[in-house]
Amino acid sequence: MGERFKPGDLSGFKDSARVRMLSERIYSFYPGGEHKIMEVCGTHTMAIARYGLRGLLPKGLVLLSGPGCPVCVTPASIIDAAIGLAGTKTVSVLTFGDMLSVPGSKSSLEVMRSKGADVRVLYSAYDMLRMADEERNRQFVFISVGFETTTPGTALAVMEVKKRGLENVSFLVANRLVIPAMDALMRLGEVGIEGFLCPGHVSVIIGSDAYRAVSSTHGVPCTVAGFEPVDILLAISDLTEQIKSGRHEVSNCYPRAVRPEGNEAARRTADTVFEECDAEWRGIGTIPLSGLVLRPEYREYDALTRFGIRLLQVEEPPGCRCGDVLKGLILPPECGLFGNRCTPDRPVGPCMVSSEGSCSAYFKYKGI
């Protein structure tokens, strides 16, 4: 369908006639019964809710939210480490806006900032370089979160820090990798996932071919999707057809942005600075080789090493079921705290904080 639209013109991907046609197509393919598809992207979760796409699907087709929100899966131990650093008068903690309200074990960066801590919101790690140049007597710590989409940009910032010889900059690294998480969810076997709606942004970097290992190992179809209504329904239609026919292939329904091989230059940049490591995912646990750490030649810029911080295991708040939401075991309204004790203004867990969080999306759009 992509060839019918001009580059940069997304109006066709919101066209009501095409949306209706795809909805009817999904109904025609649907084999009946209950079938579960997981979207592995917080932006997909928000778009599905915003456009009311669940109401266009067969009743038995369940769309589950997965661990696709980087803010949501950042361990509370990382938040606690950042809070501890923010309490140091000579340290400035720099982060993306969504991270401010994420609760740690006892507080949040937003609370620390209200008490006078120097916590600043950035749009890019590069914003930190100017600050570090101008304020050489302060230590600047950037909380590096995100999946493969943002990692190359952070890697470039790390390389630039070393090139400039900035000794007052370090990185609190909590970057995560999508493919190991998908593999881990399939190995758990708790949900019965029958198809993955694969993330468009991440796929621009890793390429659609990256999902072939998950698809072939677990016999599950994987389809890359964009973020407009037609994009998403086209991908769901492809997954529904595969489920009905018993196939498990990798499809790319976002060819205007995603190539099979992805962005090799971006991956090389990330690999120059980072190496894989076992990593904790909030609410899920430790997933082998699912995180990143600075390579030895860049380890001097690791905040944990520089400040001698040891990450401690943190228990989740009583009653919070963010982990079950991230694993697709429940939908947000099934958590007893949802909408009463836990709201965007008073979040108990991270899924209610981020603009890409599942609970936030369900709360804002009333679960549509």
Q: What are 54-68's pLDDT values in tens digits?
A: 999 999 999 999 998
- Write down the pLDDT at residue 316: 87
Q: What is the mean pLDDT of residues 87-103?
A: 92
Report the distance separating Cα 57 and Cα 233, nearest Å: 9
Tokens 């120059």 identify what position? 272
- Write down the pLDDT at residue 7: 55
- Write down the pLDDT at residue 98: 87
- Give tens-digit pLDDT for 17-26: 999 999 999 9
Q: Residue 5 pLDDT more than 70?
A: no
- Write down the pLDDT at residue 313: 85
- Give tens-digit pLDDT for 39-48: 999 999 999 9
- Write down the pLDDT at residue 368: 55
Tokens 């131990």 identify what position? 77
- Write down the pLDDT at residue 11: 78
- Write down the pLDDT at residue 3: 43
Report the distance separating Cα 43 and Cα 66, nearest Å: 11
Domains identified in the chain and CATH numbers: 11-58+68-368 (3.40.50.11740)
- Write down the pLDDT at residue 354: 84
For the CA atoms of the chain, what is the radius of gyration? 21
Report the distance separating Cα 300 and Cα 285, nearest Å: 27
21 and 230 in contact (C-beta within 8 Å)? no
185 and 66 in contact (C-beta within 8 Å)? yes
- Give tens-digit pLDDT for 211-255: 999 999 999 999 999 999 999 999 999 999 999 999 999 999 999
Instruction: For the chain, give the mean pLDDT.
Output: 93
Q: Residue 2 pLDDT more than 60?
A: no
Q: Residue 1 pLDDT more than 70?
A: no
Q: What is the mean pLDDT of residues 154-159?
A: 96
- Write down the pLDDT at residue 297: 97
Q: Residue 363 pLDDT more than 70?
A: yes
Residue 299 half-sphere exposure toward CB, CA atoms < 13 A: 6
Report the distance separating Cα 270 and Cα 274, nearest Å: 6
Q: Helix, strand, or coil here: 62? A: strand
Is the whole model's pTM more than 0.85, yes or no? yes
Question: What percentage of the chain reaches a pLDDT higher than 90?
Answer: 86
Report the distance separating Cα 294 and Cα 301, nearest Å: 8
- Give tens-digit pLDDT for 286-332: 999 999 999 999 999 999 999 999 998 888 889 999 999 999 999 99
What's the CA angle centered on 198, arms 328 and 292, to 5 degrees? 85
Q: Helix, strand, or coil here: 86? A: helix
- Give tens-digit pLDDT for 161-184: 999 999 999 999 999 999 999 999
Token digits of residue 150: 């943002």
Q: Residue 340 pLDDT more than 50?
A: yes
